[in-house]
Structure 1
Amino acid sequence: MSPKFIIPFPLLLLLFILYYVSSETAMAAPQIQLRPGFYSESCPSAESTVRRVIRRAMLKEPRSAASVMRLQFHDCFVNGCDASLLLDDTETMLGEKLSLSNINSLRSYEVIDEVKDELERLCPGVVSCADIIVMASRDAVSLSGGPTWEVKLGREDSLTASQEASDAVMPSPRANATFLINLFSRFNLSITDLVALSGSHSIGQGRCFSIVFRLYNQSGSGHPDPAIEPWFRRKLDRLCPKGGDGNVTGGLDATQVKFDNQYFRDLVRGRGFLNSDQSLFSGDARTREVVMRFSRDEKAFFEAFVEGMVRMGDLQSGKPGEIRRNCRVANADHQRLHNILFEA
């Protein structure tokens, strides 16, 4: 693992003075031409190394597959796929980890740290954290029984992050299908992309905090969401009693560690865990048609999911970037900390 720098309090003021956010003043960089096999010469074992570490993490904690996969969604939708999500807060920057959609939700940052550490030993300063996220997400899906695909690589890492930008973009578990359709269209992602990528919830768990309103006060009615199938609602009532622990978790579908089309079959039966999921079937005819198709045809779901992941992976901010040495810290800050803590 990379050294974990503990900043003594007296140094915080000095770090504040030294810190600058270069992306605010630099001119926009051209769009990066991504391509498969980007590291075939500069770091030939990059992709196999990522896969090995993800497999190891899944053996330790099966939930890490879903957590790692979701990092790509939460990174790419906020100013493109640039690993801004991985930056820790600084004295002058509020990053994305504590944004409304990420706090108490995203996990497994340490798995990406492990991948980065392995790659820095093999190929120092070569493989970007942004590319690691995309490779790790692909491997988490395929190692969970889902499809695999060739990823395009060559991204750079952002120099900064923005909690405000994340809050402005990432949807709430309360979102409905119409809101999600409009959101995805902003990124030139289609209704089919929306439904297929929502199928990422084929694996993983959600918190009671995210659904108690569905169980007891949907749309301020004082009643449960009528779209929830009665048997499933009773199950959720036991899992998430009114006034209970909001951090208790339940499976997002009935096969929460296997990537398959059970998620869509559950939606058709009224057994979607999140409001944003169930709304794809119950709330809009445009998404309902796609949900029905994927519930019957797992191959069609897998193909659409791969296409959506590739398109989402193409999102870029156009801002200058770098290859971080530590995914949690921009290189300028990493070097300043090193100088202060180890060379003073």
Structure 2
Amino acid sequence: MGDYKVWRVLSLFLLVVIAARGDLSYDFYKTRCPQAEKIVMDVMVNATLSDRRIGASILRMHFHDCFVEGCDGSILIDSTPTNRAEKDFPANFPSIRGFDVIDAAKAAVEKVCPGIVSCADILAFAARDGVHLSHGPFWDIRSGRRDGRVSMFNRVPLFLPPPTSNITQLVTSFAAKNLSKSDLVFLSGGHTIGFSLCSSFNSRLYNFTGRGDQDPALDASLAQTLKGQCPRPPTRVDPIVPMEKTPFKVDTKYFKGVLKRRGLFTSDSALLNDPFTKSLVIKSAADESFFLGNFIQSMIKMSELEVKTGSKGEIRKKCHVIN
């Protein structure tokens, strides 16, 4: 689980230099629900014991949530007969998983502190815990997010960059959320853990430019291996493959793979197409402390995107249903 004390000291240092946002605070639940974070961690520990992939899945869920409507738990809301929600957009369904874990964490918290802790905060805690339980760092999270009441299918492609994005598209998408090129690189480092559906990168193997060709930016030997794992579309099956060689451990192998043209997504290889982002990939590949320290800072920044606080939003009773 990493050196808790070292990374806690580092995270506290980083928190000092990050500007305040809204009404979030480090002791938001100190008197009203001091057990909240421990309860969420306990749920994540149990979930990880039965499913080693869950940490990466929750991390990805948090990213997808924050980029659309801000970090307000809108990705957790179910569709209704009158509204098709974010959850059902192809970028989220069926690849985003772990909704049952967030529901379990919410139910456990509700038993102790009913109506106090938002689903948005629970998702932020769980994503952090998923990283930590994947042998990654731990950091403190400011809480006080409230849950959004809007979740719309057609809003997702307006803000969430797809894995087919080039460097210009990625930089533009991140800049729209006040995230820098540095944030782009370090948050991409989240691909150090987890698995991907073949459909997220199949075009690189079989039809990169629409002429049945292979992406020349993808290592040829890796492409050959992936073709053995990922059937040529169209197909009814959509297997999963690891993002990199150690998909259950936070480390620098993702960046080392990107430098060898072994990143799965077009968006991974795109990081080499800008001198600044490439320089950060090189430095992150060589220096784990550099990557992890900056990853924490970018995760904190992302987790506070467009948060709803105070009188905005609500505290949902159940994460998948608006009150």
Q: Which residue of 2 aligns with 1:257?
A: 248
Q: Does 1:323 align with 2:323?
A: no
Q: Does 1:140 align with 2:130?
A: yes
Q: Does 1:87 align with 2:77?
A: yes
Q: Which residue of 2 aligns with 1:269?
A: 260
Q: Which residue of 2 aligns with 1:286?
A: 276
Q: Which residue of 1 aligns with 2:6?
A: none
Q: Does 1:157 align with 2:147?
A: yes
SS in structure 2 at match of 1:206:
strand
SS in structure 1 at match of 2:241:
strand
Instruction: Name stretches of at least 5 consecutive residues in structure 2 with no aligned partner.
Output: 1-20
- Is this contact kept in 1: 2:192–2:250, CA < 8 A? yes
TM-score for the superposition, normalised by structure 2: 0.89
Which of 197, 205, 226 matches 2:216?
226
Q: Whose Rg is larger?
A: 1
Q: What are the superposed Cα offsets for residues 229-273 of structure 1, whole Å, 9 maximum, x if unpaired?
A: 222111111111324555101011111111111100000111111
- Is this contact kept in 2: 1:214–1:225, CA < 8 A? yes
TM-score for the superposition, normalised by structure 1: 0.84
Instruction: Report which stretch shifted further, 220-229 or 294-303.
Output: 220-229
SS in structure 1 at match of 2:88:
coil
- Is this contact kept in 1: 2:145–2:307, CA < 8 A? no
Q: What are the superposed Cα offsets for residues 4-47 of structure 1, whole Å, 9 maximum, x if unpaired?
A: xxxxxxxxxxxxxxxxxxxxxxxxxxx74111121111111111
Q: Does 1:199 align with 2:179?
A: no
Aligned equivalents of 2:61, 2:23: Cα separation in 1? 22
Shift of 1:221: 4.1
- Is this contact kept in 1: 2:146–2:307, CA < 8 A? no
Shift of 1:50: 0.6
1:162 maps to amino acid: M
1:164 maps to amino acid: N
Aligned equivalents of 2:129, 2:56: Cα separation in 1? 11
Provide closer, same or farther for how the CA distance between residues 58 and 252 of structure 1 changes in structure 2, counting only shifts above 3 A.
same
Aligned equivalents of 2:181, 2:157: Cα separation in 1? 22
1:233 maps to amino acid: A
Instruction: Name stretches of at least 5 consecutive residues in structure 1 with no aligned partner.
Output: 1-30, 332-344
Aligned equivalents of 1:193, 1:204: Cα separation in 2? 19
- Number of residue pairs the alignment of both structures matches: 300
Shift of 1:173: 1.6
Q: Does 1:305 align with 2:295?
A: yes
SS in structure 1 at match of 2:46:
helix
- Is this contact kept in 2: 1:81–1:313, CA < 8 A? yes
